[in-house]
């Protein structure tokens, strides 16, 4: 039973399109995150939510909009995709500030 | 916000040799420290964590790490590396505001 699941695992799309990545956790955690991992493997936090409330919003373009319908879900919607958005996006969850459990990642390729 | 530095981008060790991966953090209060491992094409798996107490923590797969407050360090060690340890290793620091920051990662290559 997967703890943190993301869909889709792979996403190939053209520039200018709008796409969404879904994330669900069944751990009962209060906090969920989105991270972006670039080609150099650097993991950068994008957003964190606690009980559906936005806590951290790093300097991410407005084209990225997280949505948390409930504390078990944190989706990421990206408008007007650009080549530079190509990366692996990881969802994670944690309880308070303890260890984070990660999904398997979504590899986004913008062509 | 807190930050993490992993000075070594890439380390190569021979199988059976000992390993130490360096991690330095910056945070004003007591940090929550983690080491994660990422195998190619996979997500991140927690190796070990430090919250408080004994500064030498044991993790999975034979790894350990030592918290040194005076040096703001949390280095990861393993006495004898196996070929299956080849992966990307990330140090992370958590704060009590639901913010977890990662270092840039260290890629470990294991020579036969």
Residue pLDDT, tens place only, A38-65? 988 889 999 988 888 888 888 789 999 9
Residues A1 and A86 sit within 8 Å (Cβ to Cβ) = no
Residue B97 has pLDDT above 70, yes or no: no
Mutate to test the interface with A, among B29, B92, B98 (most CBs of A within 10 A): B98
CA dihedral B99, B50, B64, B23 (to 10 degrees): 50
Residues A24 and A76 sit within 8 Å (Cβ to Cβ) = no
E strands in B1-112: 3-5, 10-14, 19-21, 24-26, 32-38, 44-50, 56-58, 64-68, 73-78, 87-95, 99-102, 106-111
Nearest-CA distance from A40 to chain B in Å?
8
Residue B96 has pLDDT above 80, yes or no: no
Residue B24 has pLDDT above 90, yes or no: yes
Question: A68 pLDDT band (50/70/90 cuts)?
Answer: very high
Residues B15 and B109 sit within 8 Å (Cβ to Cβ) = no
User: What is the reported pLDDT for A97?
Assistant: 66
Residues B105 and A42 sit within 8 Å (Cβ to Cβ) = yes
The residue with greater pLDDT, B42 or B64, is B64
Hey, is the C-beta of A102 within 8 angstroms of any chain B C-beta? yes
The answer, yes or no, to whether the previous bond of A8 is cis (omega within 30 of 0) is yes
Distance from C-alpha of A100 to C-alpha of B38, rounded to nearest angstrom: 14
Question: A3 pLDDT band (50/70/90 cuts)?
Answer: very high
Q: Cβ–Cβ of A105/B43 closer than 8 Å?
A: yes
Residue A1 has pLDDT above 90, yes or no: no
Element (H, E) at A12: strand A10-13
Nearest-CA distance from B44 to chain A in Å?
6
């Amino acid at each position: 039973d997967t703890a943190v699941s993301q869909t889709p695992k792979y996403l190939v799309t053209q520039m200018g399109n709008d796409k969404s990545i879904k994330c669900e956790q069944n751990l009962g955690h209060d906090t969920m995150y989105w991270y972006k991992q670039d080609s150099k493997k650097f993991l950068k936090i994008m957003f964190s939510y606690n009980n559906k409330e936005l806590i951290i919003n790093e300097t991410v373009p407005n084209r990225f909009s997280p949505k948390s319908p409930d504390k078990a879900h944190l989706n990421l919607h990206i408008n007007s995709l650009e080549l530079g958005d190509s990366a692996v996006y990881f969802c994670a969850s944690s309880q308070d500030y303890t260890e984070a459990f990660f999904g398997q990642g979504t590899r986004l390729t913008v062509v | 916000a807190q930050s993490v530095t992993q000075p070594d981008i890439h380390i190569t060790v021979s199988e059976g040799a000992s390993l130490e991966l360096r991690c330095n953090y910056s945070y004003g209060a007591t940090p929550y420290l983690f080491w994660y491992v990422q195998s190619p094409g996979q997500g991140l798996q927690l190796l070990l964590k430090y919250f408080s107490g004994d500064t030498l923590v044991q993790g999975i797969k034979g790894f350990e790490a030592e918290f040194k407050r005076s040096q703001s360090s949390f280095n990861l060690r393993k006495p004898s590396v196996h070929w299956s340890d080849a992966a990307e290793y990330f140090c992370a620091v958590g704060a009590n505001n639901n913010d977890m920051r990662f270092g840039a990662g260290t890629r470990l290559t294991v020579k036969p």
